[in-house]
Amino acid sequence: QVQLVESGGGSVQAGGSLRLSCAASAYINSSYCMAWFRQAPGKEREGVATFDIDGNTNYADSVKGRFTISQDNYSNTLYLQMNKLKPEDTAMYYCAATLRSCSRGRWDDYSEYSFWGQGTQVTVSS
């Protein structure tokens, strides 16, 4: 079992930046695939990015070139650096983890993730 706690959300104007953090209660080893998802009101939860301990990443097309996922293994913290934010990025952002490789199955299928944080709200105004 691993517990995840997100932080770093807030309100920002379009074009601005935010960095989200996800603190894990246990060491995130090579068995885990770590991910960020987001869910806007009235919409399905969608995958944003994944990261594994080997540094392999996946990104949604909508955030490629603007968002960067990374992990600090020493502090067991996952990050999501979000630049050039757009109003359509407004959503609740969730940290998630699953005990499998990020390259197996669909990385953006939220049903494949077993562990979730409570979420942090990101609001981007135009």
Please tell me the number of Cα atoms within 13 Å of 43 on its side-chain side: 14
pLDDT at 69: 97
- Condensed to tens digits (0 to 9), the pLDDT of residues 9-19 reads 999 999 999 99
> Residue 87 phi/psi, 5° resolution?
-55, -35
Residue 118 tokens, joined: 């409570």
Return averaged pLDDT per consecutive 10 residues of the chain, 126 residues in all. Answer: 95 98 90 95 96 90 97 90 98 95 88 96 98
- Condensed to tens digits (0 to 9), the pLDDT of residues 75-84 reads 899 999 999 9
pLDDT at 91: 98
pLDDT at 26: 87
